[in-house]
Amino acid sequence: MTVLESRLMQRESVAEGTMAFYFSKPAGFRHEAGQSLLLTLVDPPETDGEGNSRTFTIASAPHEPELMIATRMRDTAFKRVLKTAPIGAAVSLDGPNGAKVLHDDVERPAVFLAGGIGITPFLSIVRHAVKQRTGHRIHLFYANRRPEDAAFLSELQEMEQLAPGYRLIAVMSQPERSALRWSGETGHIRRELLVRHLTDLKSLMYYFAGPPAMTMAMRGMLQDIGVGEQAMRYEEFYGY
């Protein structure tokens, strides 16, 4: 791992309470879809006991010119600085880290189970798979409370038209609280939902990411189905 200098290029809202931040890609920086990095603020105007560094999944794909991360905007010193920093502000990057990359066997379908901001590694992987035409069959289950909370939902829906082997199954647990009409799946990611959309559940490769409670529930659900540990890859996203 090497610490590299980067700069904030732009930021935007991608869902209610969620923002995306784009950083310059240092010369020679290489990553695989689904990996993460450690981002450190340089000389921030404020700090707190949580420090000036956070680990983020790289939500952009390897072929893109900038590095993008996305995060829920909690009221912490780190995120206040990130939200208000001038364009061009310096940061340092350490990475890439992690091994959450898509398996090589294109004959074995991949199932992604994402909760909230846990969508970021899968956004990178799907963008990469669509661009490179890897041939993988991907089923992405994406859980949120309401459509307004679902970061990158429109893009993920649009990519279904570009990749015949990719399917999005978005599920909302509180659609009645939305100002938008929702006609898709409702509730949570449960065994019954998987059974409706998948066949031969034990033969698939599962990836899941989200809050700790969600990842624990997904692991338990898959174990009950009979999926072995070697067919699961997962990552927890805490509310920092």
Question: pLDDT digit string (tens) for 59-81?
Answer: 999 999 999 999 999 999 999 99
**Neighbouring C-beta atoms of residue 171, cutoff 10 Å:** 20
pLDDT of residue 100: 59
pLDDT of residue 212: 85
**Neighbouring C-beta atoms of residue 132, cutoff 10 Å:** 13
pLDDT of residue 191: 96
Residues 100 and 105: their CA atoms lie apart, in Å, by 15
Which parts of the chain have pLDDT scores under 70? 1, 99-100, 237-240
pLDDT of residue 240: 42
Query: Cα–Cα–Cα angle for 182, 186, 188, nearest 5°?
Result: 140
Residues 4 and 25: their CA atoms lie apart, in Å, by 9
Residue 131 structure tokens = 């661009």
Mean pLDDT across the chain: 93
Please state whether the peptide bond connecting residue 96 to the residue before it is cis, i.e. omega within 30 degrees of 0: yes
pLDDT in tens, 198-240: 999 999 999 998 778 888 999 999 999 999 999 999 877 655 4
Distances (CA, A) of 182 to 7, 57, 168: 38, 29, 15
With residue 170 as reference, give the H or E element that holds it.
strand 166-172
Report the Cα 9 to chain-centroid distance in Å. 20
Which domains does the chain possess?
Answer: 2-97 (2.40.30.10), 110-236 (3.40.50.80)
Secondary structure letter of residue 25 according to DSSP: P
pLDDT of residue 213: 86
Residues 174 and 188: their CA atoms lie apart, in Å, by 10
Decide if 116 contacts 212 (C-beta within 8 A): no
Distances (CA, A) of 30 to 58, 61, 123, 133, 179: 11, 11, 17, 19, 41
